[in-house]
Amino acid sequence: MDQIDTSKSFVNKVFRYMKNDMPVETFMEKFHVNSAELTGIVELCKLYGKDISIEVDNTDTLVFKKNASKIEFISKLGIDNPKLTHSEICVVSDTHFGNNHQQLHLLNEVYQEAYNRGIKTVLHVGDVVDGNYPNRPENPRQQFLHGFDEQASYVVDMYPLVDGMTTYYILGSHDETHYKNGQATVNEWISRCRKDMIYLGQDTGEILIDKVKTVLDHPGGGSAQSVSYKPQKRIEILESHLKPKLLLIGHYHKSYAFSYRNVQCILVPCLCDKTQFQQKQGLSNDLGAYFIDMYSDQYGNIQYFEPEEILFGKQDVWDEADKDRKRVKQLVISNGKY
C-alpha cells in the first residue's frame, strides 16, 4: 500500500472487514499492508471511535478483538461456512420530522453510508414525525411543521430515496398523536406515495431478515433508571415461541446493545437533537444508528451477530435555527448517481 487512506469511508470499509477473532494475517493479505501499516490502521479506527484492538489468542495467533460484550459468537461454525446466510441491515429511529431540532442531514449521512455498504434494507423504529400535542401549549413553538398534512408530506418529499433500498417502519408514540387527534395515520400517506417505504405496524411490527425473526418495538412511557431494565422485562414476558431472535427498540433515544435469553436486543438511538421537553426533564439523548452484520442458519438462528454503533457527537449536530430544515435537500440516489 503506497499511502494509507485516512478517510471515514476507508475506516468504515476496513472495520467491516475485521471480524472478531480474525487472524490479522488474513487482513494484511487482503489489504496488502505490513505490520507497521496495520498498527496505523488500528489507531486510525480508534480515532474514528471504533472499538478494535489486536490480541494474542490461545494458539499464539494475533487476532482482532472488537468490543466483545456486543458480539455474539453462538456457533462453532466459521462465518465462511456456506450453510450460513450473511445479512447486513441498517437501523434508525426517532427522526421526529417537523421538530425544530430534527437532523435530516444526519439521516442522509446514514443512508449514504448504507448505500456505500450495499445495504438494501433499513428499519425505522418509530416516531418518524414529531406529532401534534394539543395539550402542550408550547408544542407549536417547538415545531416548524404543524399538523398532519405538513408532517406527512415532509416525509413523502424528503425521506431519502435510494434505488434498490427499502425502508420498513413502524409508527411510534409521536406519530400516533395524529390518529388520536383526528384518526389520521401517517403510514397511510407515506406508503401510498412511497413504494420504497413499507409499514409494519403501530407500536410494534415483525419482519424476517432472511429467516431471522425480527421485531421492531416502540414502547410508550418514560425511561427506567437502567437502560436495559425495560427491554429485559419485555423479553421476559414473551413466550418462548413468540420470542424474536432480534429485538429493536425505539422511543428511548438511547443506544445500547445486549443479548438476553437468546435474543439480540438493541436500543436504537434517535436522529433528532435534544428537544426542549427532554432538556426540561433532564433526559439524555443519544444520536446515531446501527449497522448490523449477522450470519444465520437455515432455521433463522443467529450464529454470528455484530452490531456496529454509529454515534454522532455535538460537532455533527446542526443547532443553528433553520439550518437543517432550509439547507438540506432530499437524498436521492438513482442508478448510482446523486
- Residues in the site for Fe ion, rule: CB under 5 A? 94, 127, 172-173, 251
Question: How near is the Cβ of 11 to Fe ion at its closest, in Å?
Answer: 29
Is the CB of 66 or the CB of 124 nearer to Fe ion? 124
CB of 270 to Fe ion, least distance (A): 6
Q: Whole-number minimum distance, CB 35 to Fe ion, in Å?
A: 46
Which residue lies nearer to Fe ion by CB, 12 or 173? 173
Work out how close the CB of 163 gets to Fe ion at its nearest, in angstroms, rounded to a whole number: 29
Judged by beta carbon, residue 182 or residue 222, the one nearer Fe ion is: 222
HEC sequence for the chain: CCCCCCCHHHHHHHHHHCCCCCEHHHHHHHHCCCHHHHHHHHHHHHHCCCCEEEEECCCCCEEEEECCCCCEECCCCCCCCCCCEEEEEEEECCCCECECCECHHHHHHHHHHHHHCCCCEEEECCCCECCCCCCCCCHHHHECCCHHHHHHHHHHHHCCEECCCEEEEEECHHHHHHHHHHCCCHHHHHHHHCCCEEEEEECEEEEEECCEEEEEECCCCCCCCCCCHHHHHHHHHCCCCCCCCEEEECCCCCCEEEEECCEEEEECCECECCCHHHHHHCCCCCEEEEEEEEEECCCCCEEEEEEEEEEECHHHCCCCCCHHHHHCCCCEEECCEC
Shortest Cβ 233–Fe ion spacing (Å): 18
CB of 32 to Fe ion, least distance (A): 45
Closer residue to Fe ion (CB): 87 or 167: 167
Residue with smaller CB distance to Fe ion, 64 or 168: 168
Cβ distance to Fe ion smaller for residue 26 or 276: 276
Instruction: State the minimum distance, in angstroms, from the CB of residue 282 to Fe ion.
Output: 16
The smaller minimum CB distance to Fe ion, of residues 164 and 222, is found at 222
Single-letter code of the amino acid located at 3 = Q
